[in-house]
Amino acid sequence: MNRSEKEELVSQVREKLANAVSVVVTRQSGLTVSEVSELRRQMREAGVEFKVLKNTLARIAVQGTSLEGLSDMLEGPTALAISQNDPVSAAKVAAKFANSNNKLQLVGGYLDGQILNEQAVDALAKLPSLDELRSKIIAIINTPATRLAVLAKEPASLVARVIAARGRGE
């Protein structure tokens, strides 16, 4: 890879990182091609980009950005999981894969302007996803309206039952 290609790659990575909602730094050693392919597939399904690049290029990409604190984590065979939409998805997929495969380790990450350590990324992975939270909020909002509709309907049905009972002579 020549200098101009490296500069282009750094520029692309910097742009992706600038638009990222969250980033997870992982360390991998000894992953087979099939394991990496499976990890990339899982990341892609969650809307996360899994990027393996040289640490020097990654350090240059985060230099001068809010993600500059990640530079200390970029040692050894590292990869970045970059999430553009859901702040939890990158951590969820990486943690799930790391739990089932000892060759992948969570190192740290970035969320909402803060650099996260390994424990914070693991805690982030245990949170519900954005879609799960939205569905819970909708259910909470919807429940009172449903109960109100049932209560509003109930007196009319009671009156109808009484009239029906009178009509049968009960």
H helices within the chain, ranges in order?
Answer: 3-18, 33-45, 55-62, 89-100, 118-125, 130-168
As a whole-number percent, the residues of the chain with pLDDT over 70 amount to 94
Average pLDDT over every residue of 126-154 = 78
| pTM beyond 0.75, yes or no | no
**Confidence at residue 85, expressed as pLDDT on a 0 to 100 scale:** 85
Query: d(Cα 162, Cα 159) in Å, to the nearest integer?
Result: 5
Amino acid in the structure at residue 168: R
Query: d(Cα 66, Cα 147) in Å, to the nearest integer?
Result: 47
Instruction: Assign 148 a pLDDT band (cuts: 50, 70, 90).
Output: low
Domain borders along the chain are: 3-127, 128-170
Instruction: Assign 159 a pLDDT band (cuts: 50, 70, 90).
Output: low
Query: d(Cα 164, Cα 72) in Å, to the nearest integer?
Result: 78
* Res. 158: pLDDT tops 80: no
**Confidence at residue 143, expressed as pLDDT on a 0 to 100 scale:** 80
* Element of type H or E holding 22: strand 22-28
The CATH homologous superfamily for domain 3-127 is Ribosomal protein L10, N-terminal RNA-binding domain (3.30.70.1730)
Contact call for residues 37 and 66 (beta carbons, < 8 A): no
**Confidence at residue 112, expressed as pLDDT on a 0 to 100 scale:** 83
For residue range 29-71, what is the model confidence (pLDDT) as tens digits?
888 899 999 999 999 999 999 988 888 888 998 888 888 888 8
